């Protein structure tokens, strides 16, 4: 390892020793039967915190069986707002601007249709190919829903870096009616590209468009200040860096400055009098109006304690550790893995990078399977040819970074690719 690279000057042991977040690792559950596991897929599904599991067990052991319907009067009813308000603190949002709701894609649909409704004379949604394919599908669905003239423009990128110039050009467009909405993922699921949210938002606003951010890959990993960036709408999931559990609910942010935003899927939970059973009830006043149906109480139960841990750790400390980990990983990749056929497919500027690093390899899928089945390393594969290595700073150690690189080397040099060439991929 090169002592000339500042990220490798100190040993992993030294960094772990000095890590102010090291104690948080013990707040999470680590399987004793697989003690050597290096889990680098917290950007797909986070590890459970002990307190999250306790909260869910309390529902199963006590609240549901003993309190039954009365549970709704004893804390369940306000789950979307209570947890939403805590997530708001991670987002630089105010109380009442964030609610837990639905799946991300449903929230995205609501937000996109609401935005189009607020820009009735405009027909274009701008996004880019670094966005989730699901988001692009949902945006197209929202456009189809609103009208036959609406369309989604997907700005092409080099596959690693997003392009503010490309976005600016698309916002200007050649249509006379101007853009309605810019909808982007703050951190790309592919390359890990991280937008300067305030900058891109300002560019969209200058063009008269509203802005909708998908925070799935950034919340809990990157400092976010929706208020400072003057963001209109945002959505995100809670099962990646927030560690809310498989399929835990999404959240939606609606700026309190945009009371004209209308939830297209009005339902009882978003009304101003859910228990009035009045089908003429009006919408709730804050982001609660974007709620629709009954929230999934059990799937919500791990989210609250997990968010509390993030707040306790502090996003600035989490970000600092995350940057240190991805910088170290990239330096080790350059030294040990590039000679073995890997390429770094994430931005090298840490300010433009989230908390995962993507590596391409001609046989990325086989490498991933070999890591999983022979080396107890869990990355994830994304077609056609890259592997993502996610560094969740709240429960990973610097030693895991070094050890992961050592195991990747062993897979390639030890024939793992040949043994796993035809195996099925890991999802999702």
Q: Scan residues 229-288 and list those touching a copy of itself (CB under 8 A).
A: 237, 239, 245-250, 263-269, 271, 274-279, 281
Whether residue 384 is preceded by a cis peptide bond, meaning omega within 30 degrees of 0, is: yes
388 counts as catalytic: yes
Separation CA 328–CA 410 (nearest Å): 19
Binding mask 157-196 for a copy of itself (x = CB under 8 A): ----------------------------------------
Q: Which phi and psi (to 5°) does residue 233 adopt?
A: -140, 150
* Least distance in angstroms from the C-beta of 334 to a copy of itself: 27
Task: Tell me if 310 contacts a copy of itself by CB under 8 A.
Answer: no
Counting residues that bind a copy of itself (by CB under 8 A) gives: 92
Sequence-separated (6 or more) residues with CB below 8 Å from residue 61: none
* Least distance in angstroms from the C-beta of 69 to a copy of itself: 5
3-state secondary structure 343-373: EECCCCCHHHECCEEEEECCCHHHHHHHHHH
Of 90, 242, 372, 411, the one binding a copy of itself (CB under 8 A) is 372
Query: Which residue's CB is nearer to a copy of itself, number 3 or number 427?
Result: 427
Site residues for a copy of itself, 109-148, by CB under 8 A, read: 109, 113, 129, 132-134, 136-138, 140-141, 144-146
240 counts as catalytic: yes
On the CB side of 236, CA atoms within 13 Å amount to 34
Sequence-separated (6 or more) residues with CB below 8 Å from residue 207: 168, 171, 172, 178, 179, 182
Of 44, 81, 130, 326, the one binding a copy of itself (CB under 8 A) is 44
Query: Which residue's CB is nearer to a copy of itself, number 118 or number 154?
Result: 154
Query: Which residue's CB is nearer to a copy of itself, number 302 or number 347?
Result: 302
* Least distance in angstroms from the C-beta of 217 to a copy of itself: 14
Query: Which residue's CB is nearer to a copy of itself, number 15 or number 49?
Result: 49
Task: Tell me if 75 contacts a copy of itself by CB under 8 A.
Answer: no
Task: Tell me if 45 contacts a copy of itself by CB under 8 A.
Answer: yes
What CA–CA distances, in Å, run from 82 to 56, 90, 234, 287? 16, 14, 18, 12
Task: Tell me if 423 contacts a copy of itself by CB under 8 A.
Answer: no
Spell 113-134 as b/e; 16+ CB within 10 A means b: bbbbebbeebbbbbbbbbbbee
Site residues for a copy of itself, 84-103, by CB under 8 A, read: 102-103
290 counts as catalytic: no
Active-site residue, from 388, 389, 395, 398: 388
Site residues for a copy of itself, 320-359, by CB under 8 A, read: none
Task: Tell me if 156 contacts a copy of itself by CB under 8 A.
Answer: no
* Least distance in angstroms from the C-beta of 316 to a copy of itself: 27
132 counts as catalytic: yes
Task: Tell me if 83 contacts a copy of itself by CB under 8 A.
Answer: no
What CA–CA distances, in Å, run from 310 to 33, 64, 306, 384? 27, 27, 7, 33
Active-site residue, from 28, 109, 132, 398: 132
Q: Which phi and psi (to 5°) does residue 236 adopt?
A: -175, 170
110 counts as catalytic: no
Q: Both ends of the chain: CA-CA distance in Å?
A: 33
Of 105, 191, 255, 358, the one binding a copy of itself (CB under 8 A) is 105
* Least distance in angstroms from the C-beta of 135 to a copy of itself: 8
The position carrying tokens 């150690």 is 397
Residues involved in catalysis: 132, 214, 239-240, 388
């Amino acid at each position: 390892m090169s002592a000339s690279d500042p990220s490798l000057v100190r040993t992993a042991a030294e960094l772990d020793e000095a890590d102010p977040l090291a104690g948080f690792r013990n707040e999470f559950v680590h399987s004793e039967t697989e003690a050597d596991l290096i889990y680098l897929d917290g950007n797909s599904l986070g590890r459970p915190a002990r307190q999250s599991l306790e909260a869910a067990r309390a529902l199963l052991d006590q609240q549901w069986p003993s309190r039954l319907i009365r549970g709704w009067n004893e804390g369940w009813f306000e789950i979307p707002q209570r947890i939403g308000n805590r997530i708001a603190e991670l987002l630089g949002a105010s109380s009442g601007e964030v609610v837990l709701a639905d799946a991300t894609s449903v929230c995205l649909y609501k937000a996109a249709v609401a935005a189009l409704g607020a820009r009735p004379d405009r027909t274009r949604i701008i996004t880019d190919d670094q966005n989730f394919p699901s988001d692009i599908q949902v945006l197209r669905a929202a456009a189809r829903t609103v009208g036959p003239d609406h369309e989604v423009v997907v700005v092409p990128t080099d596959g690693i870096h997003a392009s503010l110039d490309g976005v600016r050009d698309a916002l200007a467009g050649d249509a006379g009616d101007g853009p309605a909405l810019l909808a982007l993922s703050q951190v790309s699921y592919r390359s890990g590209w991280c937008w300067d949210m305030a900058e891109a938002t300002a560019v969209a606003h200058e063009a008269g468009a509203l802005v909708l951010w998908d925070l799935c890959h950034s919340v809990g990993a990157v400092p976010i200040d929706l208020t400072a960036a003057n963001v209109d709408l945002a959505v995100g999931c809670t099962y990646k860096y927030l560690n809310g559990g498989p399929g835990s609910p999404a959240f939606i942010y609606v700026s309190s400055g945009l009371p004209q935003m209308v939830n297209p899927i009005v339902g009882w939970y978003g009304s101003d009098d859910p228990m009035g059973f009045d089908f003429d009830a009006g919408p709730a006043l804050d982001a609660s109006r974007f709620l629709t149906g009954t929230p999934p109480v059990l799937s919500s139960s791990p989210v609250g304690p997990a968010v509390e841990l993030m707040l306790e750790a502090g996003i600035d400390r989490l970000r600092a550790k995350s940057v240190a980990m991805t910088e170290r990983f990239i330096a080790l990749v350059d030294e040990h893995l590039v000679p073995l056929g890997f390429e770094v497919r994430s931005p090298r500027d840490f300010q433009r990078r989230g908390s995962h690093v993507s590596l391409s390899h001609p046989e990325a899928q086989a490498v991933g399977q070999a890591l999983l089945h022979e080396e107890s390393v869990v990355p994830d594969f994304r077609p056609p040819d890259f592997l993502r290595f996610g560094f969740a700073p709240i429960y990973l150690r610097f030693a895991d970074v070094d050890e992961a690189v050592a195991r990747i080397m062993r897979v390639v040099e030890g024939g793992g690719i040949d043994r796993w060439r035809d195996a099925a991929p890991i999802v999702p």
